[in-house]
Structure 1
Amino acid sequence: MSDTSPFDPVGHESLADAVVEQIETMIVDGILKEGHKLPSERDLAEAMGVSRPKLREALQILESRDLVTVRHGEGSFIAPLSGRAMSPALLALYARHGRAFYDYLEYRREQECFAARTAALRATQSDKDRLRDIIDEMQKAWEEDDAEASQEADLRLHVAVVDASQNTTLIHMMASVYDLTRQGVFYNRRFLRTMDGTGEKLLQQHKDIVATILAGDPDAAEQAARAHLDFVEESFRLGEEQKARETRAAKRRKLSGQASR
């Protein structure tokens, strides 16, 4: 295992318990998230300085606590932690009733403003490097007009800002919220690009959020996050209004055609 491994060698007082303690702590801290695949037994045992039998014992304990899922032939994975924010039936209901989108957005706005403000105060050098890397990816995706890469980087940036807040409750709660975004339940980022023209405004808003966090300015970071979510809300309101106008116009045209027969 290389020196870049996030796992530390454990002491020798109670090897299996020490392994369990370290992995549990990494889960609580939001370092290991649900679905994350752990290194192979050999690599993990080497990184933590324990024998493979002791590592297996620790994984069995974690599995019994529903924290790790062992898939034979595939490896060990962090188990689902926060669960779905909504049941499939409620998701479908929300998708049919667009008004729910604004409640979702209101919740995201307050949480992400808090995350940005807190990240500006707490972000480590590693957090800042991660944010810079994602912004570089967003810039590249924009220059290449790669909508799919842009959308994926967008979501990862929001996750990275929340992670940089160092608030473990927020990290786990927002993971469930972002799952809704990833599923496209409420909106598709491609729609925002149509409202934005080229997507340049969205890119600049994300740059502003990162810049204020890197500068350590909590007030400006909160304002940048709020401006971004306000833009998202206003874009969708305008989109709904345009759609309603087009629907009315289409009906008037049909009636006009019938009247002229």
Structure 2
Amino acid sequence: MKQSASAAFDRVGNEGIAHTIAHQIEEMIVTGALREGTRLPPERELAASMGVSRPKVREALKQLEDDGLIHIRHGEGTFVADLIGAAMSPALVSLYSKHQTAFRDYLEFRREQESFAAALAAERATAEDKETIREAIATLEATQSSIDRAASMEADVHFHQAIVDASHNSLMVHTMRSIYALMRSHVFYNRDFLRSIDGTGEALLDQHRAIAEAVLEGKPEAAADAAAEHIEYVAESFAVHALRRRREIVAQRRRQLLGLN
């Protein structure tokens, strides 16, 4: 049975009620439980779930809005503000598409961060986190042979975010969420190419399974190694692709020049 979003909020005491309400919502934003763009439950539901009056909820929400943490859109609801923004400007993303050294730096950063996150997740993942990871793997498996590129990409991003979320490191949760947004661009994500390496993409799926299995079994070292090996595979695959593409261009130009003579 699906629970109401308001069930995630705790009841509060009588002292400094508005401040306590605001602090609870702040904590949920910091930890990543409430994400940018998330719609909060209506005042009525929040008041009921926390055991407080609607005026106190309204006061707390006004405080959060003044602090720039939420947006209150009359007639639409209350939403968490975009607090992270883009990791890079469109101009910088364009530069990454032209310079392979920059792209390697991006993968190097991901390797170190995701390896650390996987190790933390293996130590800290709760039962809820583990269920989310199992669901993420199931979705990856379901989209493995899908022709829906968007669904396949989202499944990949969701899996990696689930691992990072399970690390329970709030700074990493927010930082990597911004980094994963870059995977939605063709510069930082080309699942079609990666799947073409072994003909099926089964290698990628096996790597994701290895990360999940180590996290679910509470093996930090194995989780870190599996995450690092996955990114190294991606980096090596793109390097091979770049060399292959360069040879093809040289061969085409050579043939064109010979044809002129």
Provide TM-score, normalisation by structure 2: 0.93
Cα distance, 1:145 vs structure 2: 5.0
Q: Is the 8 A contact 1:138 1:203 kept in 2?
A: yes
Q: Is the 8 A contact 2:122 2:220 kept in 1?
A: yes
Map of 1:101 onto structure 2: 103
The 5-angstrom pairing of residues 40-189 of structure 1 reads: 40-144=42-146, 146-189=148-191
Map of 2:9 onto structure 1: 7
Give the Cα–Cα distance (whole angstroms) in 1 for the partners of residues 186 and 43 of structure 2: 36
Give the Cα–Cα distance (whole angstroms) in 2 for the partners of residues 204 and 106 of structure 1: 21
Map of 2:31 onto structure 1: 29
SS at match of 1:99: helix
1:201 to 186, 203, 214: 203
SS at match of 2:100: coil
Cα distance, 1:146 vs structure 2: 4.1
SS at match of 2:72: strand
Change (3 A) 1:4 1:75: closer
Provide TM-score, normalisation by structure 1: 0.93
Change (3 A) 1:237 1:256: same
Letter in 2 for 1:56: R
- Structure 1 gaps of 5+ residues are none
Q: Is the 8 A contact 1:209 1:221 kept in 2?
A: yes
Give the Cα–Cα distance (whole angstroms) in 1 for the partners of residues 42 and 185 of structure 2: 30
Letter in 2 for 1:100: A
Give the Cα–Cα distance (whole angstroms) in 2 for the partners of residues 123 and 55 of structure 1: 32
Which deviates further from its counterpart, 185-194 or 213-222? 185-194
Query: Deviation above 6 Å: which 4+ runs of structure 1?
Result: none
Change (3 A) 1:107 1:144: closer
Change (3 A) 1:220 1:2: same
Cα distance, 1:3 vs structure 2: 8.3
Change (3 A) 1:153 1:4: farther
Identity of aligned residues (%): 52
RMSD between superposed Cα atoms in Å:
1.8
Which deviates further from its counterpart, 136-145 or 19-28? 136-145
SS at match of 1:152: helix
The 5-angstrom pairing of residues 241-260 of structure 1 reads: 241-259=243-261
Give the Cα–Cα distance (whole angstroms) in 2 for the partners of residues 146 and 205 of structure 1: 21
Q: Which whole-Å deviations, capped at 9, do the CAs of 1:203-249 have from their partners, x for residues lacking one? A: 11101100011111111111110110011001100110111011111
1:222 to 214, 221, 224: 224
Change (3 A) 1:88 1:149: closer
Change (3 A) 1:148 1:85: closer
Q: Which whole-Å deviations, capped at 9, do the CAs of 1:102-133 have from their partners, x for residues lacking one? A: 00100000000000111111111111111001
- Structure 2 gaps of 5+ residues are none
Q: Is the 8 A contact 1:196 1:202 kept in 2?
A: no
Give the Cα–Cα distance (whole angstroms) in 1 for the partners of residues 94 and 62 of structure 2: 37
